[in-house]
Amino acid sequence: MADEFKKLKETGNNFLKIKCKSCGNEQIVYAKIASVVVCNICGATIAKPTGSTLATSGELVEKVKL
Protein backbone atom coordinates (compact mmCIF):
# COMPACT_ATOMS: atom_id res chain seq x y z
CA MET A 1 0.00 0.00 0.00
CA ALA A 2 1.52 3.31 -1.02
CA ASP A 3 0.58 6.31 1.01
CA GLU A 4 0.24 9.45 -1.03
CA PHE A 5 2.18 12.36 0.42
CA LYS A 6 1.45 15.88 -0.69
CA LYS A 7 4.10 18.49 -0.16
CA LEU A 8 2.79 21.63 1.47
CA LYS A 9 3.79 25.12 0.44
CA GLU A 10 6.41 26.94 2.46
CA THR A 11 4.91 27.42 5.88
CA GLY A 12 7.69 29.12 7.84
CA ASN A 13 8.00 28.57 11.56
CA ASN A 14 4.44 27.53 12.04
CA PHE A 15 2.60 24.65 13.51
CA LEU A 16 0.06 22.92 11.35
CA LYS A 17 -3.08 21.10 12.34
CA ILE A 18 -3.23 17.98 10.24
CA LYS A 19 -6.13 15.57 10.02
CA CYS A 20 -5.22 11.93 9.82
CA LYS A 21 -6.64 10.30 6.72
CA SER A 22 -7.04 6.96 8.42
CA CYS A 23 -8.85 7.81 11.65
CA GLY A 24 -9.77 11.51 11.49
CA ASN A 25 -7.62 12.52 14.44
CA GLU A 26 -6.44 16.13 14.27
CA GLN A 27 -2.88 16.62 15.42
CA ILE A 28 -0.59 19.64 15.71
CA VAL A 29 2.67 19.16 13.81
CA TYR A 30 5.62 21.50 13.51
CA ALA A 31 6.15 22.62 9.92
CA LYS A 32 9.87 21.94 9.90
CA ILE A 33 10.02 18.44 11.23
CA ALA A 34 13.27 16.49 11.01
CA SER A 35 11.75 13.03 10.99
CA VAL A 36 8.44 11.39 10.20
CA VAL A 37 5.43 12.06 12.43
CA VAL A 38 2.92 9.36 13.22
CA CYS A 39 -0.69 9.70 14.29
CA ASN A 40 -1.10 9.48 18.06
CA ILE A 41 -4.27 7.45 17.66
CA CYS A 42 -3.75 4.93 14.87
CA GLY A 43 -0.01 5.09 14.22
CA ALA A 44 -0.26 5.98 10.54
CA THR A 45 2.51 8.16 9.14
CA ILE A 46 0.86 11.54 8.68
CA ALA A 47 3.87 13.72 7.84
CA LYS A 48 7.41 13.43 6.64
CA PRO A 49 10.14 16.02 6.11
CA THR A 50 10.97 17.21 2.62
CA GLY A 51 13.65 19.78 3.37
CA SER A 52 12.07 23.20 3.53
CA THR A 53 8.71 22.01 4.80
CA LEU A 54 6.75 18.82 5.22
CA ALA A 55 4.66 16.51 3.13
CA THR A 56 1.50 15.02 4.54
CA SER A 57 -0.67 12.04 3.72
CA GLY A 58 -3.55 13.66 5.58
CA GLU A 59 -5.34 16.94 5.26
CA LEU A 60 -4.12 20.36 6.33
CA VAL A 61 -6.85 21.80 8.55
CA GLU A 62 -5.26 25.09 9.48
CA LYS A 63 -2.06 26.86 10.41
CA VAL A 64 -1.62 27.35 14.11
CA LYS A 65 0.32 30.18 15.68
CA LEU A 66 1.61 29.40 19.11
Q: Is 45 in the site for Zn ion (CB under 5 A)?
A: no
Q: How many CA atoms lie within 13 A of 50 on its CB side?
A: 14
Is residue 22 involved in binding Zn ion (CB under 5 A)? yes
Q: Does 20 bind Zn ion (CB under 5 A)?
A: yes
Binding status of residue 25 toward Zn ion by CB under 5 A: yes
* DSSP 8-state code for residue 23: T
Given 28, 42, 61, 64, the residue binding Zn ion (CB under 5 A): 42
Q: Under the criterion CB under 5 A, does residue 23 sit at the interface with Zn ion? A: yes
> What strands, in cross-sheet order, belong to the sheet with 54-56?
6-7, 54-56, 45-49, 37-38
